[in-house]
Amino acid sequence: MFSIGVHPHSLVHPLDSPWKDYEMRKGLTRQPQRDEPATPVKNYITRSGLQRLKDEHRFLLTRERPAVVEVVAWAAGNGDRSENADYQYGKRRLRQIDGRIRFLTKRIEAAEVVDPEAPRAGQAATKAFFGATVRYATAAGVSRVVSIVGTDEVDLNRNHISWVSPLGRALMKSAAGDSVVLQLPGGTEYLTVLEVCYERISVEPFREPPGSEARSEASAKGLTRRR
């Protein structure tokens, strides 16, 4: 977090650091992973997962981008732009933000919301599809539980796996008592499905990067004073 009286060039690190931490945290929305289909398909997602995308999209558009635009505008008036660290950094950060906004916009537009708690009948209630929580056992007898979610909701700390991941694909359409084969680069694993159910899946909500509110206020006040 930078203060109003900080030297202009100190803007680089305070503005960037929270976002580096933010973008590397688990469970946050991310670019499509390698296991996502090459051909664009509907973006299956839970309602809370979609809300997280919308919250991040709104934050970038209404808070983060305006703050960076103001920094760039101020830095543009401080001499040679080719040697102006604030200007160069601001423009780079702005490109990153705009790229993220475009990505989120496409994911939101393609979203197909699936409610894991919605009533299901027949095979849809007993077999594993998107939104299912599955308990299975490995060949060694180790029991594990995973929830099958969208590619934007993957959170291994919460045992949320993508429906297009190797494990997600292996479990898809399975029911209690079924044996499935999991193909991995390191070899083949044989799993036994113990239980399939549909319950609420708790997705971590979007949280603004630390210091973002103070940073936006400080940049606005600081730039006004410098002018």
Report pLDDT digits (tens) over 132-164. 999 999 999 999 999 999 999 999 999 999 999
Mean pLDDT, residues 76-91 taken together: 74
Sort strands 43-45 and 143-149 into parallel, antiparallel or unpaired.
unpaired
Give residue 81's pLDDT: 63
Q: What is the pLDDT of residue 215?
A: 56
Q: Per-residue pLDDT for 112 more than 70?
A: yes
- pTM of this prediction? 0.75
Arithmetic mean of pLDDT, 38-67: 90
Pairwise CA distance, residues 94 & 116, whole Å:
37
- Calpha distance 130→93 (Å, rounded): 36
Q: Residue 110: its pLDDT value, please? A: 96
Residue with tokens 């977090």: 1
Cβ–Cβ < 8 Å for 144, 138: yes
